[in-house]
Amino acid sequence: MKILVCITHVPDTTSKINFTDNNTKFDTTGVQFIIGPYDDYALARAIELKDAIAGTTVTVLNVGPADTEPTLRKGLAIGADDAIRVNAEPTDSFFVASQIAAIAKETPYDLILMGRESIDYNSGVVHGIVAELLGIPSISPVMKLDLEGTKAKLAREIEGGKEYLEVSLPFVAGCQEPIAEWKIPNMRGIMSARTKPLKVVEPKAADSGVKLQKFELPPPKGSVKMIPADNVPELVNLLKNEAKVL
């Protein structure tokens, strides 16, 4: 079985977000980049399936310039067999999804896994676009995924609950916790990742019809009003008469 896991290269979850160039570029100063947390869940589940099903291979894919390669290498260290980097700035969801679909058209995969959304642009649409371009089912956000031959059983989160589903391979899943436990690369994984194949391919043209104009930061928060612990009714008074939310 061949599994493709699409991973994003995103600022660490604790990063302070700033912009430069008149609010048109993300400021990478001092920012640590990581595999997107949701993508990390997808990758962890793929590795579990590889360990459970003989003959399974896992390919990690990222659409990004050369400086995302350490993120791909981390995917290899966690246990993927090979990696593909589409050499392009990931400008928007449709562009990224088109690159993934183009790769999957050349080499059919039985399963395409990715995070439910990236934590930078939070679009949550790449899995759906990829699946639509390939003409296969898409399911998201997936919190459980088990395979029985060519059939899959999944659980999907819905507002205030869960849905259980069945679908046949191939399909695309947007993953989230608790689908698997995150895997931490060990020394052997890190060493072997250096020699695993990482293929670089050039992007295909794809026009999404969206254009970024500028970024904006939320206005700074005013200071907190502290209420003494022995005067709880004052909080209720403020919520009622000042904030007017009660």
Partner 1 sequence: MAILVFVESAEGKIKKTSIEAVAYAHALGGPVTAIALGAVEKAELEALGKYGAQKVLHVADERLSQGIIQAYATVLEKALQDEGADILVLANSSLGTPVAARVATKLGASLASNVVELPKTDGGFVVKRSIYTGKAFAWVELKNQKKVIALRKNAADIKEVGSPVQVTPYSVTLGDADFATKITSSEKATGEVLLPEANIVVSGGRGMKGPEHWGILEELAKTLHAATGCSKPVSDMGWRPHHEHVGQTGVKVAPQLYIAVGISGAIQHLAGVNSSKYIVVINKDPEAPFFKAADYGIVGDAFEIIPKLTEAIKAAK
Interacting residues toward ligand FAD by CB under 6 A: 13, 37
Run of H or E residues at 173: strand 171-175
Interaction between residue 217 and partner 1 (CB under 8 A): yes
Interaction between residue 191 and partner 1 (CB under 8 A): no
Binding mask 148-167 for partner 1 (x = CB under 8 A): -----x--xxxxxxxxxxxx
| Shorter beta-carbon distance to ligand FAD: residue 37 or 185 | 37
CA distance 137 to 167: 8
CB atoms within 10 A of CB 67: 10
The only residue of 59, 68, 99, 138 in contact with partner 1, by rule CB under 8 A = 138
Per-residue DSSP letters for 95-149? HHHHHHHHHHHHS--SEEEEESS-TTT----HHHHHHHHHT--EEEEEEEEEEET
Which two structure tokens, joined as six digits, stand for 57? 């291979």
Interaction between residue 107 and partner 1 (CB under 8 A): no
| Shorter beta-carbon distance to partner 1: residue 188 or 211 | 211
CA distance 69 to 178: 27
Which two structure tokens, joined as six digits, stand for 84? 């593909």
Least separation in angstroms between CB 37 and ligand FAD: 4
Backbone angles phi, psi at 84, to 5 degrees: -130, 135
Per the CB < 8 A criterion, the answer to whether 140 and 173 are in contact is yes
Least separation in angstroms between CB 233 and partner 1: 4
Using DSSP's 3-state secondary structure scheme, residue 219 falls into: coil
- The item of partner 1, ligand FAD, none sharing an interface with residue 30, based on CB under 5 to 8 Å by kind, is none
| Shorter beta-carbon distance to ligand FAD: residue 205 or 224 | 224
How many residues line the site for partner 1 (CB under 8 A)? Answer: 82
Interaction between residue 30 and partner 1 (CB under 8 A): no
- The item of partner 1, ligand FAD, none sharing an interface with residue 54, based on CB under 5 to 8 Å by kind, is none
Run of H or E residues at 151: strand 151-158
Interaction between residue 99 and partner 1 (CB under 8 A): no
The only residue of 77, 83, 86, 133 in contact with partner 1, by rule CB under 8 A = 133
Interaction between residue 222 and partner 1 (CB under 8 A): yes
